[in-house]
Structure 1
């Protein structure tokens, strides 16, 4: 069964000077289309459905931090991967979010064509919207294949982005505690 995306990949192969009917490439358009659908499945997800009511009453008003959440995304400029990790924290105000939901929120936005700066903001805004937290902090560190495989070809560069909302933006002590917990401050 062929679909429109498969046909586009066949044309890309032709455009590169390849024969999409040669043995090694016959199934490539179908596989590439399937892979791209998977890599971009975040478009099919919805925040409310993803969270699915996994908010739980809690008297805790101390920082909740989930660090080193691996992420895989595609640069919207070159369709090349960027790979890294996200660190997310929030200060609850009467309810906490199910632990796996934090990672799922990161994945939902990472599995779209992205730039890291927007991804960081989208994760922070989503956690804020779902939890109503007193503050949310997100730091993402990633290596970008568009910078490593082409262009300047810098193999060891890591891009860091952060978004601080509420208490994390207003209080240097709160921000410092978060950065210390994720190993980014002395």
Structure 2
């Protein structure tokens, strides 16, 4: 078996081939990133809690529907904070962040579709998720998975929306944000200084 060149990386995941080096990188990065992950999960919980009050007023959603969905998502976000105790590595933190962001996206799209606010508000909320994705500095593989889930959910929402033509600009903005976020994640991953 060949000994991997120190610092050599896998093509897709950009993980170090040297297992010990990758392990040290994961633990050091996880230690640096854990408070950021917790802040993002807490921010998600707070935003969902505020949305519980705003959605019935700003949309045609019944308060019971919006409150159930937003409370569930706020609790799920807090579960992410609790689970962070078992996420000492970057990969585990990024997996949790990708799951939480994907769930946020699908619930946002469902609520926006049901509330009749997919154009405008729905896309604005999706763009906010992309911004938080960049702030989270999620590794490219996880950002890619998250973006595919968000994209699939958005396509389904567009197909279910009765007046699809009004979503043309929203679709353009979504695609531009997805491309920009994916490009940034790939560049940030590929150019990050991964040292021992």
Alignment TM class, shorter chain as reference: 0.3 to 0.5
**Higher helix proportion:** 2
Question: Normalized against structure 1, the TM-score is what?
Answer: 0.34
Question: Normalized against structure 2, the TM-score is what?
Answer: 0.33
Query: Greater Rg, structure 1 or structure 2?
Result: 1
Higher RCO (CA < 8 A, seq sep 6+): 2
